[in-house]
Amino acid sequence: MNSPPHPDVIIIGAGLGGLCLAQGLRRAGVSVGVYERDRSATDRLQGYRIHIDTDGSRALHECLPPALWRALVATAGDPGTGFTFLTERLAELLAVDAALMTGGSADPADGHHAVSRITLRLLLMGGLDDALHFGKEFERYEHAADGRVTAHFADGTSVTGDVLVGADGVNSRVRRQYLPHAGRVATEGVGVGGKLTLDPHTRAWLPSRIAGGLNFVVAPEHALFTAIFARRATSQDAMRELDAEVRAAGLDPDLLLRGAEDVDYVLWAFITHRDTFGADAEALPAEALRERILAVTGGWHPDLRRVISDTDPATVSLFGFRSSVPVPPWPSGPVVLIGDAIHSMPPTGGIGGNTALRDAQHLSRALASVHRGERALPDAVREFEARMRDYAFAAVRHSMRNHDLAVTSGRLRRLGFRAFLRACALLPPMRRRAFGRNWSNPTASRSPEARARI
Ligand SMILES: Cc1cc2nc3c(=O)[nH]c(=O)nc-3n(C[C@H](O)[C@H](O)[C@H](O)COP(=O)(O)OP(=O)(O)OC[C@H]3O[C@@H](n4cnc5c(N)ncnc54)[C@H](O)[C@@H]3O)c2cc1C
C-alpha cells in the first residue's frame, strides 16, 4: 500500500505504541504515516528484553498481520515457570504458577512472552515501509481551519492529517504543546540493570529459580528483579520455519530480523533508593555500580551476589525513574496521546509498554470505526481517552505501589509484605485472588463484560 503524502492519521514516534497503532490502522485500511526522529530503523538496536503480558499479547495479536505475530511468538522467549517471590537468602516466599498468571489459556495470544526489544521493533516495522519516515523530529503542530492538523518538523517539512497521535514517549513534545500542565515527577528510586549470559557455565551454578522464571527478591532493604530471556528458537530457525508464510505476506524474512538479538540471558534489575549510589549516580561507571550493589548486599545469598558480580559490565547501566501525574479529563479533539507520552510509569510493574500496546489496540479500533463511517471522530476519541485514563492511570498507581515497596518502604512494611506472601502460599483462594490472571494489571481483574468495554 502506498503512503499518501497526507495520511489520515499522523503518528509521531516509532516506538512500541506508535508502531503497533500503525499496524492496526493499516490492517483496518486507514492511511497512516509514522514520523520518527531517529535517522534510521536501526538507530536504536539495543536494549533489554521486554515482558509482554496478556494485554500486550492481545494487542499485538490483533494489530499485527498473522505472519508477523507468529514470527514474534516463535522468536520470543518463554518467561518460564512462573513468578517467584524470594527472600535475599533465596528462601521461597510464594511461587505464582504461569498458569495462574495466564488464566490457564494455552493460546499464545493470551500468554506472556519475553521479547527482545530489538526483534520486537523490527517486527513491528514489518511491512510498514513507505509509511515510516525517519529523521523527522516533530517540533509543533497547528490546527487548520478545516479541522485537520498540521505537524511541523525540524527539517522544515510538514504534513497534514485528520488526526495527530503523539506516541513520542516520556519527553513528548506533542504532550508539552497539547497538555502543558500534564506533569512528570522524578521518583526517589533508581534501577541498575544487567544481563548475565545464559550458557552451560552459568547454568551449572545458577539456582534453578533464577535460570527458570521471573523472580522478585523482597529484602529488608533494596529489591532485585530477575527474568530469563531464553529463546524458543533462534531467529534463523524461526524464520526458516515461517519463511513461506512471511514471504506470502509480502515481507522479506532477512530484513525482518536483521540485527536480531540471538543470545540467552538472565536480566536482572536492582531497585533501590537513589541515595544508595550517591549524588553522582548517573556518572558512575558500570564497575562502580556493580561494586556498590555488592557492598550493600553483603548478607544476601552468594548465588544472588554472583549473578551481579559475574555480569559483563558492558551490559550494566543505571536508569532513573519518572512517573506521570494523573491529568483531569481534557476536551477531546484531533490530537491524541498514547503510551509513555501521557502515562509514563517506573518499570517496577513491567507494564508501561503493555499499556502503550493496549492504547494502540483501542485507539486503532476507535479510528477504524470512524474510517468506516460508524461514528464521528470527536466521539470516538473521547471514548478512547476516558477508558485509557481509567486503565492507564491505574497502571501508573500499581507501578508506583511496587516502586514504593522496593524503594521507600521501611523494614516493617517489607516484613508485613513477606508475611502476606507466605499466607498466600498457604491459602490457594487468597493466592488466586491476589495473583490471578494478569495480576500485574489492576484493571484486568474486572468482569469479562467490564473488560470488553475497555
Ligand atoms: C529498564 C526498563 C525496562 C522496562 N521493561 C518493561 C517491560 O518488561 N514491560 C513493559 O510493558 N514495559 C517495560 N518498560 C516500559 C516501556 O519500555 C515503555 O513504557 C514503552 O517503551 C513506551 O512505549 P511508547 O511507544 O509510548 O514510547 P517509546 O517506546 O519510548 O517510543 C517513543 C518514540 O518516539 C520517538 N520520538 C521522541 N520524540 C520525538 C520527536 N520529537 N519527533 C519524532 N519522534 C520522537 C522516540 O525516538 C521513540 O522512537 C521498561 C522500561 C525501562 C526503562
Q: Which atom of ligand 1 is nearest to the CA of 269?
A: 1
- Give the Å distances, CA to CA, from 7 to 11, 25, 150, 157, 375: 10, 11, 11, 15, 19
Does residue 439 register a pLDDT over 60? no
345: cell is 510509569
Closest-CA residue, ligand 1 atom 50, reads 347
Does residue 103 register a pLDDT over 70? no
pLDDT tens digits for range 57-92: 999 999 999 999 998 998 888 777 788 999 999 999
List 95's β-bridge partners, or say none. Answer: 84
Does residue 133 register a pLDDT over 90? yes
> Residue 102: its pLDDT value, please?
66
DSSP state string for 330-350: ----SEEE-THHHH---GGGS
Burial 313-342 (b: 16+ CB within 10 A, else e): eebbebeebbbbeebeeeebbbbbbbbbbb
Average pLDDT over residues 415-439: 85
Helices (H), 170-256: 173-178, 200-205, 208-212, 235-248, 253-256
CATH of domain 9-451: 3.50.50.60
Reported confidence tier of residue 367, pLDDT bands at 50, 70, 90: very high
**Residue ranges covered by each domain of the chain:** 9-451
Q: Which atom of ligand 1 is nearest to the CA of 354?
A: 11
Which has the higher per-residue pLDDT, 186 or 257?
Answer: 186
Does residue 449 register a pLDDT over 50? no
Q: What is the pTM of this model?
A: 0.91
> Residue 306: its pLDDT value, please?
98
Reported confidence tier of residue 6, pLDDT bands at 50, 70, 90: low
Q: Ligand 1 — pocket residues by CB below 6 A?
A: 12-18, 35-38, 48, 50-51, 136-138, 167-169, 173, 193, 319, 339-341, 347, 350-354, 356
> Residue 444: its pLDDT value, please?
52
> Residue 231: its pLDDT value, please?
84
Does residue 204 register a pLDDT over 90? yes
Query: What average pLDDT does the chain have?
Result: 88
> Residue 450: its pLDDT value, please?
32
> Residue 77: its pLDDT value, please?
85
> Residue 453: its pLDDT value, please?
28
